[in-house]
């Protein structure tokens, strides 16, 4: 007879999640001073939400009453087909439908399954929707280690994964963290064109291309001109150069397949994109987060200068 933990992990697999790890809910003692130092150094830039709910960010028991377990889940988003016209690039995670919606649906199914099988369980699903340190919990539950680029790296298949959590008020069997396998490698640090990885394991969010193209609402600083490597939504550089991502395999989630026409978009298509086309192509995509005007700003910023 399967244990409660085995039943949950089996259901996670059925729902299409690639990995599931479980850790005991509690205060993240190791992460607390790191988060405090990161915020004190203003590495959050204009991401004001990172400054709020400091205590909740470090203790899931403040998010779910009587929380006992954090179920961490990974969903692969590495695409079979990638952009080949590279005048303007978007991050691979944004090729398909908005991952928030795709994963939330699966998590709600998982929570319903747990309640049906185990009875009156109180739980809450999280996909970038609340102050949860998802990488820290995934690390604690043995799904990988935090790399020098601050991404979670899975030993079997790299870092192109969405991370989500289900925090529940039942005790389960807990997994153990694994060791760090980055070794002496500095490929991610060396490759970052904006020097956002200020030292191993510390990323200055306010210098990151993803921050400039998504989070920043004002103009991109002029000193970033020529350093954006044609990225107009997000950035995959530190993941693309990571040796562990040589083990990446294409995902099997149809909703994450590239939205129609995305991979065929030419330099002119991007530069001449209308608000109507933006709304049609990116209607169900994470790219809509930057809004039409934000995308146009990013395109104009990385567009090569041409003499009149």
- The active-site residue out of 18, 55, 98, 128 is 128
How far apart CA 45 and CA 31 sit, in angstroms, is 19
59 is catalytic: no
- Computed on alpha carbons and rounded to an integer, the radius of gyration of the chain in Å comes to 20
Q: Are 168 and 121 in contact (CB under 8 A)?
A: yes
- According to DSSP, the residues that pair with 153 across neighbouring strands are 145
**φ, ψ dihedrals at 246, nearest 5°:** -70, -15
Q: Are 15 and 60 in contact (CB under 8 A)?
A: no
Return the closest-CA partner of residue 96 out of 240, 296, 263.
Answer: 263
At 244, is the secondary structure helix, strand, or coil?
A: helix
How far apart CA 40 and CA 257 sit, in angstroms, is 39
Give the residue numbers marked as catalytic: 128
């Amino acid at each position: 007879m399967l244990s409660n933990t085995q039943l949950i992990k089996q259901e996670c697999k059925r729902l299409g999640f690639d990995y599931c790890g479980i850790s005991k809910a509690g205060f993240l003692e190791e992460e607390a001073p790191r988060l405090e130092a990161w915020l004190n150094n203003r590495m959050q830039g204009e991401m004001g939400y990172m400054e709020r709910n400091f205590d909740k960010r470090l203790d899931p028991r403040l998010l779910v009453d009587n929380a006992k377990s954090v179920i961490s889940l990974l969903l692969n988003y590495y695409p079979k087909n990638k952009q080949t016209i590279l005048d303007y690039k978007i991050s691979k995670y944004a090729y398909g439908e908005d991952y928030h919606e795709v994963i939330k649906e699966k998590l709600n199914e998982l929570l319903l399954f747990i309640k049906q099988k185990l009875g009156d369980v109180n739980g809450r699903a999280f996909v970038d929707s609340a102050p949860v340190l998802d990488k820290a919990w995934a690390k604690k539950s043995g799904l990988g280690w935090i790399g020098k680029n601050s991404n979670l790296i899975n030993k079997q298949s790299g870092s192109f994964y969405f991370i989500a959590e289900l925090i529940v008020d039942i005790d389960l069997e807990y997994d153990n963290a694994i060791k760090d396998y980055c070794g002496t490698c500095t490929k991610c640090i060396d490759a970052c064109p904006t020097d956002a990885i200020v030292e191993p394991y510390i990323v200055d969010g306010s210098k990151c291309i993803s921050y400039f193209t998504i989070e920043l609402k004002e103009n991109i600083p002029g000193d970033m001109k020529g350093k954006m490597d044609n990225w107009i939504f997000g950035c995959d550089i530190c993941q693309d150069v990571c040796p562990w991502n040589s083990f990446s395999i294409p995902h099997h989630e149809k909703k994450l397949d590239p939205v129609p026409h995305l991979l065929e978009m030419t330099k002119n298509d991007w530069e001449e994109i209308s608000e109507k086309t933006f709304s049609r192509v990116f209607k169900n995509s994470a790219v809509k987060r930057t809004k039409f005007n934000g995308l146009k700003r990013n395109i104009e910023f990385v567009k090569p200068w041409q003499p009149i």
